[in-house]
Amino acid sequence: MTRFPVRRVLLAPALVLTIGATAACGGSHPAAKASAARTVTAAPAPSSTSGTSGTASATPSATGPAPLTEAQLTLIATAITQAGAPGLKEDTSDQSTGVNDEKQKAGSGGAACETFLNALQAYSGTYGSSAEVDRGYDATTTNGQELVLLSLVSHTSAAAARRTVDDVRKSAKDCPHLTADLGGETGRMNLAPLSRPAMGDGSAVVRIGMTQGSTKELITTATAQVGSTTVNVFDISGSSYDYGAAEQVTKEAVTLLRNEYPQ
Cβ atoms of 85 and 140 closer than 8 Å: no
pLDDT at 246 over 70: yes
Q: How many separate helices (H) and strands (E) can be counted in the chain?
A: 6, 8
pLDDT band at 73 (very low <50, low <70, confident <90, very high): very high
Of the spans 36-45, 107-116, 175-184, which averages the highest pLDDT? Answer: 107-116
Q: What is the pLDDT of residues 4-33, one digit of tens each?
A: 344 445 544 334 433 434 444 444 333 333
CB atoms within 10 A of CB 231: 29
The mean of the pLDDT values for the chain is: 77
pLDDT on residue 95: 81
- pLDDT of 179 over the 50 cut: yes
Any idea where the domains of the chain sit in the sequence?
Answer: 6-44+59-260
The residue count for the chain? 263
CB 122 within 8 A of CB 164: yes
Instruction: Give this prediction's pTM.
Output: 0.78
In tens, the pLDDT along 149-170 reads: 999 999 999 999 999 999 999 9
DSSP string, 18-82: HHHHHHHHT---TT-----TTT---PPPPGGGTT-BTTS--PPPPS-SPPPPHHHHHHHHHHHHH
49 or 159, higher pLDDT: 159
CATH number given to 6-44+59-260: 3.40.1000.70
Band (243; pLDDT cuts 50, 70, 90): confident
Q: Alpha carbon of 23 to those of 55, 90, 231: distances in Å?
A: 35, 18, 28
pLDDT, tens digit, for every residue of 100-130? 999 989 999 999 999 999 999 999 999 999 9
CA 229 to chain centre: 13
Q: How confident is the model at residue 86 (pLDDT cuts 50, 70, 90)?
A: low
